[in-house]
Chains A and B, each alone.
Chain A
Amino acid sequence: MKKFLSIALILVLIIGCFAACGDKNTTGDPDSEESKPPVDDTASDETIKVAIIGCHTGQNAQYGLGVLNGAQLYIDQINASGGINGKQIKVIAYDNKSDNQEAINAFNRAVDEGITALIGDVISANTIAVVGEAYPLNMPMITPSATAAAVTYDDETDTVYSNVFRTCFIDPFQGEKMANYANEKLGAKTAAIIYETGNDYAVGVKDAFIETCKKLGIEIVDEEGYATGDVDFMSQLTTINSKNPDVVFCPNYYQDNGLIITQARKAGIKATFIGSDGMNGVKGYASAADLEGTVYCSGYAPGVTEAVKAFDEAYAAKFKTEPNMFAATAYDAAMVLCNALQIAEEAGLKTGSDEYKQAVIDAIRDKSADLECITSSGYTFDERNNPVKNAFIMKLVGGDEVYVETY
């Protein structure tokens, strides 16, 4: 019995060791050279370290991997053409698993490894968590995808996080855009809304849409909500149909929108559906006939310019998959950041020093207007560090999502 017990204990210990090792391996990203001890200052003079933190596994992996790949693509291109001031950029990539605590841990670890800037995080909640750590350090930070207003601006203390920027547009912006578009281009006089009530994104876009509609004189004839996970919208859509609106606004994600539009046609709704960038990808979730004419705004449109085409091809060649919007805004984020790093390097500042970080932040804010970016012709930022950029209007034609215009 004693023998058995001791063997069992040994086994448990061994398994424990393995488990611990396994854990270590999953914290970092397999693509990066990870688990290195903090590097001393002499090494950081030769390379510029940039962290890319996001959700690379789990439910939101599609977003996080898009960001990682998009940013990596640009940085690889810069490195291949000689780097910045002769210095190579070293990417430190960590997976935050869409978890706030993991996000903070990953950021702190990256700081210990001597990063000079951060591209990330991906999800708004994670980004807000990391901003809390990054703001006191004045760490230059660009998120390609966090759309919540609170990422760059604290409502309670009326503070703008001066070190945080983004290359995506914020939620309310899309609601405004689509209300204006419905008014100007679709001639809508009445609108109905169906939105996911428990989703900050949907609510944010919806509120801005309603506010703008009021200003423009579009009457909101019906506002229907649904709970997360619902699949049956027939009752709400029957009510909407009875009010006969010109447009139906769906600021939700594409899977829900696919179900909504399919059921709406069954309920007899003939109106045009309009949506926000969450609509991107809806073509796989409803029939071409039901979707025909649906429009939404997007932060990225494939192949609109030569630069975008080149990006699409390079991305597809490297990662064997089509880029998504997150990859595009991440590519832009990397471009804006590298440009700022270049300016700071040329000023002769010590890499990673406080002055250096401030120079990078100033350069992002003031010197990004002339860049040839993928989703915007250069970036300028408003007083809350939100980008001033146009949206791409996409339309469902024959079951495909095609670019219509830049609005």
Chain B
Amino acid sequence: MSLVISQLINGLQSGSIYALVALGYSMVYGIIMLLNFAHGDIIMVGAYVAWLAMVHLALSPILAIILAIIACTLLGVIIEKVAYTPLRSSPRLSLLITAIGISFLLENLAQLIFKADAKRVPPLITGPSINIAGQYVDFTAIITIVVSVISMILLTFLVRKTKMGKAMRAVSEDMVTAQLMGINLNSTISFTFAVGSALAGIGSILYCCTYPQASPTMGSMLGLKAFVAAVLGGIGSLPGAMIGGFCIGLAEAFVSAVGLSVWKDGVVFAILIIVLIFKPTGILGKVINEKV
């Protein structure tokens, strides 16, 4: 029984990170219909910033965490301004290809600057194991799950209850009309990227707590799996992204627990294929009728 609980927690822990990253995917997709494939690489940059701050600048973990989140946020906004804004009226395919290009750019830049081998990120968050119902659970696992749930709640509040959130929803509904209603399109989209990238920053910190290595390609697989999570939950839906993330994490843990760990990635992508065939809108996604 305790084994089952441990495996559940393993799944929830990795699922939380997928969920945070998937939230960023979903938000950006919701607002400009762009699959931001550079999102995973923002996490990679966050991990390197945390590593730089801790190892080379000898800053405290708290400062390193803040710095990493700020760096991710800025990077997200810069990418949006430099790469996506000029293409806003172009076909969506051009945007998608640009996103893939940015992803390669970031990965190769990191490889050029930091070399290909992984860097060890010192422990960012440490604490004692916690006893839950007679089962010792690692502190970082608890933190990871709690932080991602809180982030999700805050984000829902932001989107549902604030003025900026209202603007975001309006823009995602109809960009042109929103503009006519006096909503500043540029700042709303930038804000969405900033929030999404800040979540990626938080994701990178939680990632480094559990898997304490920064490497140039660490973001690609993580980003892809988070993408699957976003699709599974219904891309564009925030609670959907969260549910999708946890499902993917639990599916991976389950597959590994029954001794098929080698099939882990295969199962995740099989889920993507099945969702796309049978329910392309995902668990919580809305059916969008193409306007003719």
Contacts and interface: CB of A to CB of B under 8 A. Distances in A.
B140 interface: yes
Interface string B1-23: 00100110011011000000000
A286 interface: yes
Interface in A228-279: 229-232, 234-236, 238-239, 241-242, 255, 258-259, 262-263, 266-268
Given A225-B262, A266-B138, A284-B120, A238 B218 contact: no
Given A238-B10, A286-B120, A227 B136 contact: no
Contacts of B217: 229
B165 interface: no
Nearest to B257: A235
B120 to A, nearest CB: 5
A173 interface: no
Contacts of A372: none
B14 A232 contact: yes
B210 to A, nearest CB: 7
A263 B212 CA distance: 10
B98 interface: no
DSSP majority for the B interface?
Answer: helix
A287 B256 contact: no
A263 B262 contact: no
A102 to B, nearest CB: 19
Contact of A234 (B3, B123, B253): B253
A362 interface: no
B173 interface: no
A230 B260 CA distance: 13
A355 B161 CA distance: 88
A27 interface: no
Contact of B256 (A231, A236, A258): A236
Contacts of A236: 256, 261
A258 B213 contact: yes
Interface string A29-62: 0000000000000000000000000000001001
29 contacts: A59-B116, A197-B262, A224-B256, A224-B259, A225-B261, A226-B264, A230-B264, A230-B265, A231-B213, A232-B14, A234-B253, A235-B257, A236-B256, A236-B261, A238-B10, A238-B257, A239-B257, A255-B117, A255-B118, A255-B213, A258-B120, A259-B211, A259-B213, A266-B140, A268-B136, A284-B120, A285-B120, A286-B120, A287-B123
Given A224-B256, A231-B218, A235-B10, 6 more contacts: A225-B262, A227-B262, A238-B3, A238-B10, A286-B120, A286-B212
Interface of B: 3, 6-7, 10-11, 13-14, 116-118, 120, 123, 136, 138, 140-141, 210-213, 215, 217-218, 221, 252-253, 255-257, 259, 261-262, 264-265
Query: What 5 A-B pairs have minimum CB-CB distances, sorted nearest first?
Result: A235-B256, A234-B10, A231-B211, A266-B138, A238-B6
